[in-house]
Chains A and B, each alone.
Chain A
Amino acid sequence: MSLKTTTLAVAKDEAIRGRETVVRRTLDRLGVIGVIAAVVLAAIVIAAAFATWLAPADPNAPDLFAALSGPTSAHLLGADALGRDILSRLMHGAQVTLAGPGLVILLSTIVGTALALVAAWCGGRVDAVIVWVLDILFAVPGIVFALIAVAIWGPSLFTVVCGLAVAYIPYVARVVRGAALRERNLPYVSAAWLQGHSGFGITTTQILRNVQPIVIAQAVSSLGFAVIDLAAVSFLGLGVQPPTADLGLMVKSGFDSTLRGHPGEAIAAGTLIVLIVWCVTVLGDRLTSTARSMS
């Protein structure tokens, strides 16, 4: 009994110490700037996710007397041309600006990784066809895909997300295919094959697990580009439609106010986009260098 408690206590102690080293190692990898980026991004994500409760005002409620006012006690960041509270619109807009690109990356990562694993495992003709398809996708610039999708199905957030997801597939697939090809030639794969495991099983359980850091690093790195592309399409008026709050749209409407001498909304929305992209890019860079040093 006493022996058991001691072992348990020791195990618990080790677990805590293990957790401490994991935290320490993560902090070491991130560096000072990485920690700052992670904290800022976490704050933005929380502010966006709980915008309904945290936002000081209704993002769509016009207060015409406050229209184009600078920062006041009622509107901390001022109000836009329709008198809507800019801070509240930023918090609600960040939802779309984060969730849309997140969906783009999720879709393209799933499809791209699947294509890459199939290409790497099958090799030969299957590989050649997949590489050929990816090369053709590469020949069309990302934002043009989104515009084609909009031309067909009309402007909406979902259309743009689908178009961009297709555009990002080749970037994921190329990186993952390279990594999976290296794994495929390692002895553990042939060992598993000799033990009678199926190609599907080896690929999904073992190769996928080993290329996972690279997949995640690639996904985070691309997220920054997706934020920029999606915001740009919204800015052009082809993505998110008003009155939904979106950071790209806010820069657009803020641009019109800027021309009349009120740059507040454009500065606020533009800064928030830059901040989000900067945080994501810093984290992506750190993850990529970690994934490279591991493989």
Chain B
Amino acid sequence: MSFASFLLRRSGGLLLVLLVTSFLVFGLLYLAPGSPLAFILGPRGGTPEQIAAVTEQYHLNDPFIVRYIAWLGDLVQGDLGRSLVYRQPVGDLLISRAGTTAALVSLAAVIIAVVGIIAGTWAALRGGWVDQVVSTLAAIGLSTPVFVVGVALISLFAVGLGWFPTFGVGTGGLDTLWHLFLPAVALSVASAAYLARITKTAVNEERTREHVQTATVRGLAPGLIVRRHVLRNALIPITTVLGLTVATLIAGAVVVENVFALDGLGSLLVKAILQRDFAVVQAVVLVLVVAFVVVNAIVDVLYTFIDPRISLGSRQ
């Protein structure tokens, strides 16, 4: 399959998924009890003119399918609607917060990749007590929820030792990196543990393969064998897991942002749910789904770069 047709197929799939999810999200929130009128006009209600004006402004009287299509049309033009709570366009709200979430997830992905691959390879190559320690730590890490790690990190390193700030995102640049470090660590613990486990299995499997034995017999340097022959081949399962992990980080970020009071998409979503600000809920959910699907598509493309034997679009 050529790259262009692959891209076309994936974006077609993405559009379809988006259409269905947007319909479901819009439909479900449409069915939700409670009228937006009550929220906009406050507990005292309003005059009949005010009610009519609001109904007109938010198209509350139109049938469901008309409202859905109108909403979809606005969406295509980049208009995500207006937040009832913040009284400003949802798009502006998202853009100012998406950066925090993206930075958090990327930092966590880097930590996961570095720690997971190094720990897993080390455990596989050294074996013995190193393997025991890494396996035990991985088992504990996998069982620890993100928010428990977050609370533990804050009490230990922020409140107890005072090495890191407790809350917030800082003032940009290195300061933001410093602020995001603990949240990123909290986000990455479980995934790094999982990746270490997968890497260990993959490296152990590759080491017994014939081409590695041949390389050893020919007297190649052990470091070269590990890098060129073992790790290169072990990268396939590692990338798969890493890609899927990054996709789940997007959901994990919702929790971490609330623990560390970061101003990201996740904390916006939780606030919007509690305040029943449905335009924001719809938009954030859609953004999360798009990110999830796009990351998975990128992983598929990465496969072909790592292993030219895999053709585009075929999953092994």
Contacts and interface: CB of A to CB of B under 8 A. Distances in A.
Interface of A: 135-136, 139-144, 147-148, 150-153, 155, 224, 228, 231-232, 235-238, 248, 251, 254-255, 258-259, 261, 263, 266, 270, 273-275, 277-278, 281-282
21 contacts: A139-B292, A140-B288, A141-B250, A144-B254, A150-B273, A151-B29, A151-B276, A151-B278, A152-B31, A231-B145, A232-B145, A232-B255, A238-B270, A238-B274, A255-B151, A255-B154, A263-B155, A273-B144, A273-B148, A274-B143, A277-B143
A251 to B, nearest CB: 6
Most buried by B among A147, A155, A266, A278: A147
Given A151-B273, A266-B152, 11 more contacts: A135-B17, A140-B288, A141-B250, A141-B251, A147-B273, A235-B145, A255-B151, A255-B259, A258-B159, A259-B166, A270-B151
Given A136-B17, A141-B292, A277-B145, A152 B32 contact: yes
Shortest Cβ-Cβ A-B pairs, 7 listed: A141-B251, A278-B143, A277-B143, A270-B148, A152-B32, A228-B145, A151-B273
Contacts of B152: 266, 270
B21 interface: yes
Interface residues of B, number: 46
Interface of B: 17, 20-21, 25, 28-29, 31-33, 139-140, 142-148, 151-152, 154-155, 159, 166, 247-248, 250-252, 254-255, 258-259, 269-270, 272-274, 276, 278, 281, 285, 288-289, 292-293
Contacts of A282: 139
A238 B273 contact: yes
Given A140-B21, A143-B251, A238-B273, A152 B29 contact: yes
Contacts of A255: 151, 154, 259
A227 B250 CA distance: 19
B20 A147 contact: no
Nearest to B17: A139
Contacts of B288: 140-141, 144
B146 A136 contact: no
A144 B274 CA distance: 14
B274 to A, nearest CB: 7
Contact of A278 (B139, B146, B273, B285): B139
Nearest to B270: A236
Contacts of B21: 136, 139-140
B159 A152 contact: no
B313 to A, nearest CB: 15
Given A141-B251, A236-B255, A251 B151 contact: yes
A147 B293 contact: no
Contacts of B25: 148
A131 B118 CA distance: 37
A140 B255 CA distance: 16
B143 A266 contact: no
Contacts of B33: 153
A232 B146 contact: yes
Nearest to B30: A152
B251 A274 contact: no
A236 B258 contact: yes
Contact of A147 (B159, B250, B270): B270
A258 B154 contact: yes
B247 A141 contact: yes
B255 A235 contact: yes
A121 B288 CA distance: 34
A224 to B, nearest CB: 7
A150 to B, nearest CB: 6
B90 to A, nearest CB: 15
Contacts of B148: 251, 270, 273-274
Given A151-B281, A232-B255, A258 B143 contact: no
Nearest to A282: B139
Nearest to A271: B148
A59 to B, nearest CB: 21
A258 to B, nearest CB: 5
Contact of B151 (A150, A228, A237, A258): A258
A224 B250 contact: no
Contacts of A152: 28-29, 31-32
